[in-house]
Structure 1
Amino acid sequence: MFKSILLPTDGSELSDKATAIAVEFARLHQSRITALTVIQPLLLPSLGDSGAVADAGQYEIQMQDAARAHIERVAAAANTAGIPFEGVIAMSPNPYEEIVAAAEKYGCDLIMMASHGRSGLSKLLMGSETQSVLSHTTLPVLVLR
């Protein structure tokens, strides 16, 4: 039924739980997994005369290292279960756009993703990537909490 699963991961504990479920699902259905981590670029506010300067280059290096670690954890779980695997790192201010585009690019027929279950003010301020994915894809999305 589902032969190619896109698994967005942010390295959180909830994403790790989603990885375990996705690997078992893929094993049972003889599917492959494409894991995706999206790095959001550093948005530098106007700092005025404060003299404080953020190092965008260092930020990107740290985020790339963290993203590789997220992908490697999924790769290890997939390899242990004998699941075909591919890892992808993307950079975008809007992760949901990368998730939807990657699902299409890699021929995925299911998106499995964790939902952090934000509500209230935090949902208003940070938004919901899961809700945005649901709104912008025609693929089935299995939301794991």
Structure 2
Amino acid sequence: MFKNILFPTDGSPLSEKVTATVVQLAQLHGARIVSISVAQPFPFVPLSDGAVVPDAEVYETQIHQAAKSSLDKVAAAAGSAGVPFEGIVATSHNPYDEIVTAAERHNCDLIVMASHGRKGLNKLFLGSETQKVLAHTHLPVLVLR
């Protein structure tokens, strides 16, 4: 039924926990996993000439290494199970947009996401990438906790 499964991962313990389920789902359907980790660009803008700002280059390097590390864990799980895998590191202030675009670009027919299930003010202020993906894609989205 599903041949190309997109699995966004942020490297969180929840994403790591969900990885096993995604791999099993791919095995069940004879599907491949396309996993994406979105590195958010350097968020600091100096407000004045004398402002102390962390080194943007160091930040960018570390955030890309973290994204690659997240994908390496999914790749290892997929490889152990004999599931075809492709990893993507993207950079964007809007992870949901990269997720939706990757799903379309790689002909995915399902998006599987881990959700922290935030409620109340946390959801309002932190937002929900899962909710944004649901609002911007026509594909089925399986949300796991």
> Percent identity among equivalent residues?
59
Greater CA drift, 36-45 or 55-64:
36-45
Aligned residues: 145
**Aligned positions of 1:1-145 closer than 5 A:** 1-48=1-48, 51-145=51-145
SS at match of 1:10: coil
CA RMSD of aligned residues (A): 1.1
Q: TM-score, normalised by structure 1?
A: 0.96
CA distance in 2, matches of 1:37, 1:49: 34
Paired with 1:58 and 1:113, the residues of 2 have a C-alpha distance of 29
Q: Which moved more, 1:50-59 or 1:14-23?
A: 50-59
Off by >3 Å, runs of 4+ in structure 1: none
Determine helix, strand or coil for the equivalent of 1:48. Answer: coil
2-side partners of 1:119 and 1:42: how far apart? 27
Q: In structure 2, list runs of 5 or more residues that go unmatched.
A: none
Q: TM-score, normalised by structure 2?
A: 0.96
Distance 2:46 2:126 in 1: 20
- Mapped to 1, the partners of 2:94 and 2:114 lie a distance apart of 17
Q: Determine helix, strand or coil for the equivalent of 1:93.
A: coil
Amino acid at match of 2:30: Q
Give the gaps of 5 or more residues in structure 1.
Answer: none
Give the Å deviation of 1:126: 1.4
Distance 1:2 1:76 in 2: 21
Partners in 2 of 1:132 and 1:53 — Cα distance? 30
Verify the 8 A CA contact 1:47 1:53 in the aligned structure 2: no
Distance 2:88 2:132 in 1: 20
